[in-house]
Amino acid sequence: MRIHDRRAALVAVIAMGVLGLSACGKSNNVEGNTYLANGGAMSIQFKSDGKAAVALGPMTGDCSYVQKDKTVSITCEGEQADFTLNDDGSLNGPPDGMIGRLEKKAN
């Protein structure tokens, strides 16, 4: 095998390894996950059909959500709040809101 062919084969193996490792990383999708804040006083359960169940203390509500890249927009009773999906899988609430960081609940 010539040096050029070996180099090309090595590059291909490295590229496949990088792609494989990135596929094993954390999911950037909120669907099917539940997020908790303030020791569980608030929770958001993201369902697979674009629906979300939001609970804040004793109050609960059925909402809808749309995710585009790292922004998750939740709409409840006509009011929308935009959350940011962090690289560690957590969510940050709107900067001007009372909701801070929400941690992904372990499944």
pLDDT, residue 97, reads: 78
- Specify if 3 maps to a domain: no
Q: Is residue 74 part of a domain?
A: yes
Q: With contact defined as beta carbons under 8 Å apart, do 33 and 106 qualify? A: no
The answer to the question of residue 5 being in a domain is: no
> Domain range holding 50?
34-104
Three-state SS at 88: coil
pLDDT in tens, 33-51: 999 998 888 999 999 899 9
> Is residue 5 classed as helix, strand or coil in its secondary structure?
helix
Three-state DSSP class for residue 30: coil
List, in order, residues 6 or more apart from 28 with CB less than 8 Å away.
69, 70, 85
Within a domain: 18: no
pLDDT of residue 6 exceeding 80: no
Is 20 within a domain?
A: no
Contact of 17 with 10, CB cutoff 8 Å: no
